Structure 1
Amino acid sequence: MARVNTVLGPIAVEELGFTSIHEHIGYGMPGSELDTRWWKSPEQRYEETVPKLREYKEKGGSSYVDATGICNGRDVNYYQSLSEKTGVNIVACTGFVGGDTALKHFADAEVQYLADQFIHEITVGVGSTGGKAGIIKVGVSRGFKMTPLDLRIYRAAARAAVATGVPIITHLAVDSAPALEIFGEEGMDVNRVLFGHADDGVSQGKVDEEGLLAAGGRIGFDTFGYDLELPDPPFWGRHRDERFQHLMRFLRAGQADRVLVAADANCSPLGWPGVKGHTINYLFDQLIPDLKADGVDDATIEQLFVGNVVDFFTPKN
């Protein structure tokens, strides 16, 4: 039986239940902890985060993958406390959101050093927390093109994933050809790579969906709720129905097994104000009702949030 690391210990993949695959307990850029305007006390962070996770649990959410990388506010001790308080399984990641978020110590490191770092956090734990990472995060830096550092991180992630059996999740699905080449060279099963943010507003026209699917990759529809209809939408926003129809195109084509869905919400942003009116619970409050109104049956919805997640976290050999 396959198992996945949560911050409170490993569980069977079948115990994950309804899972949002790409979220953030608290994301900020490196150095945000020095910003006296937006840095928050632990009390403030709890006050903002606990009600959102409790609501998620009450509405049917069971597990939550935190895609906050090293240097971006990842705090496994905090995640452990939140999981205990709310009953939500939290899967933490190792890796980096993108090369441009890696501090100099890591940015100057060789591929094998980075791979060993990822492997340690998956098999031994993150720092002294005892909590182990259950997924690896990688990303394309700003500019929509892989940098040399991005390429080193992707290669290190592939080595660590092959060595440990955990999957990979990406920030952005653009400029994917170099990533696919690296995964092939390192023997990484691309079926266990989720190419994220393929649905965001700034990535449209830049994602080779056909190439990713042909290679066996999975597509992340994981920015639901970042709608241009919001009072103050983010630059990566997109019209609500346009994003929804993008997902529906996959479902109508019989490709529900190739996608994973999330909101990329930030429970308590670090170093920036966040996006007002957007939480993980958009999935229950808006997206799932929209799916049902469009004729999507309960079995397909369960596949998107349960079955596909189990398959993604299950090693194939």
Structure 2
Amino acid sequence: MSKVNTVLGTIPTAELGVVAVHEHVGYGMPGSELDTQWWKTPEERYAETVPKLRAFHEHGGGTFVDATGICNGRDVDYYKSLSAKTGVHIVACTGFVGGDTALPHFARASVDYLTRQFAHEITVGIGDTGSRAGVIKVGVSRGGRMTELDKTIYRAGARAAVATGVPILTHLAIDPEPAVAIFREEGLPLDRVLFGHADDGLNADQTPHDWIVSQGGRLGFDTFGYETELEDPPFWARARKERLDHFLDLVAKGYLPRLLVSADANCSPLGWPGVKGHTVNYLFEDLVPDLRERGVDEATITTLLVDNPADFLTIKA
């Protein structure tokens, strides 16, 4: 039986439904949750988050993949409570957003140590929560080029993915050549890797989309909603039409089986204000209507939101 790890247990892949494949319950840099300028009580965070997840469920959303890595505010007991409260399946990740977010204990660790850490969180559980990770997060550090620490984490992630059968989700799709080389050396099929943020305004021009697909990788157009049209757009924003045109161009090239979409929104950000007006529900409230307006049929929308993420998240040991 095809299956996926969620925070409330392993479920059949068929139960995932519509998937937001790259999101955050709450993301921040290490220690940011202690910054009194942005500190929120648990009750405030809960009050911000529950309505967004309930709306996601009411729109037809089934599964929310939390891409918050170790050291960035991951709180699995909290995720379990949210999942039980809202009816949304939540998939937690192991791994790191990038080497520059790894605290010294992990930054000094060997590939073997990190591999065991990731595999333990996938097969045994994260801390004492009893919940197992369903995806591995790796990423490119600030500066846009993979550091030696990034490469160590990528190699550990690849080994853990091969050993456990869960997929890898990357932070940024720039500088993918070293990543692909590592994945090939470790025997990880490239269809088990989603190269994330292939669409953001800061890095899209530097991302070799065609080459990644030619190697067998998947592309994450997962910053939908971060638009220059926002009242206070973030530095990675992109014009709404430009992003959509780019995405539909890739669909027209025949890349649909390799594309996944998400919003990379924060339900309740840690240590920063977040982006006003942007939530996971952009997928239903804006993206799907935009796709329909541009003539995209329902079968293609189902492929993007249901079929492709289900295939990607399924444990393939």
* TM-score w.r.t. length of structure 2: 0.99
Q: What's the counterpart of residue 157 of structure 2?
A: 157
Q: Distance in 1 between matches of 2:131 and 2:315?
A: 21
Q: What's the counterpart of residue 47 of structure 1?
A: 47
Question: Deviation at 1:39?
Answer: 1.8
Deviation digits for residues 112-140 of structure 1 (CA, Å, limit 9, x no counterpart): 10010000000010001001100000000
Question: Deviation at 1:205?
Answer: 2.0
Q: SS state of the match for residue 206, structure 2?
A: coil
Q: Distance in 1 between matches of 2:76 and 2:303?
A: 29
Q: What's the counterpart of residue 239 of structure 1?
A: 239
Question: Deviation at 1:313?
Answer: 2.1
Letter in 1 for 2:22: H
Q: What's the counterpart of residue 277 of structure 1?
A: 277
The structure-2 alpha-carbon separation of the partners of 1:316 and 1:3, relative to structure 1 and needing over 3 Å to count, comes to closer
Figure out how many residues of one structure are paired with residues of the other and give that number.
317
Does 1:256 find its partner at 2:266?
no
Question: Deviation at 1:255?
Answer: 1.6
Q: SS state of the match for residue 10, structure 2?
A: strand
Question: Deviation at 1:194?
Answer: 0.2
Q: Distance in 2 between matches of 1:164 and 1:15?
A: 21
Q: What's the counterpart of residue 174 of structure 2?
A: 174
Deviation digits for residues 20-46 of structure 1 (CA, Å, limit 9, x no counterpart): 100000000001122011121110110
Q: What's the counterpart of residue 309 of structure 2?
A: 309
Q: What's the counterpart of residue 132 of structure 1?
A: 132
Q: What's the counterpart of residue 64 of structure 1?
A: 64
Q: SS state of the match for residue 220, structure 2?
A: strand
Q: What's the counterpart of residue 265 of structure 1?
A: 265
Question: Deviation at 1:260?
Answer: 0.3
Q: What's the counterpart of residue 100 of structure 1?
A: 100
Contact 2:50 2:82 in 1 (8 A): yes
Percent of residue pairs identical: 66
Contact 2:115 2:157 in 1 (8 A): yes
Q: Distance in 1 between matches of 2:229 and 2:155?
A: 38
Q: SS state of the match for residue 63, structure 1?
A: strand
Q: Distance in 2 between matches of 1:316 and 1:10?
A: 14
Deviation digits for residues 262-316 of structure 1 (CA, Å, limit 9, x no counterpart): 0000000000000001000111111000000111011100000100012112355
Deviation digits for residues 12-65 of structure 1 (CA, Å, limit 9, x no counterpart): 111101001000000000011220111211101100000000000001100000
Letter in 1 for 2:247: L
Q: What's the counterpart of residue 29 of structure 1?
A: 29
Structure 2, unmatched stretches of 5+, are none
Structure 1, unmatched stretches of 5+, are none
Does 1:207 find its partner at 2:230?
no
Question: Deviation at 1:208?
Answer: 1.2
Q: Distance in 1 between matches of 2:182 and 2:139?
A: 14
Q: Distance in 2 between matches of 1:66 and 1:215?
A: 26
Q: SS state of the match for residue 62, structure 1?
A: strand
Q: What's the counterpart of residue 113 of structure 1?
A: 113
Does 1:298 find its partner at 2:295?
no
Q: Distance in 1 between matches of 2:19 and 2:85?
A: 18
Moved segments of 4+, more than 6 Å: none
Deviation digits for residues 207-245 of structure 1 (CA, Å, limit 9, x no counterpart): 111221111000000000000000100000000000011
Q: Distance in 1 between matches of 2:34 and 2:230?
A: 29
Q: Distance in 1 between matches of 2:79 and 2:206?
A: 34
Does 1:91 find its partner at 2:91?
yes
Deviation digits for residues 142-188 of structure 1 (CA, Å, limit 9, x no counterpart): 00000000000000000000000000000000000000000001000
* TM-score w.r.t. length of structure 1: 0.99
Report which stretch shifted further, 201-210 or 70-79: 201-210
Contact 2:263 2:280 in 1 (8 A): yes
RMSD: 0.8
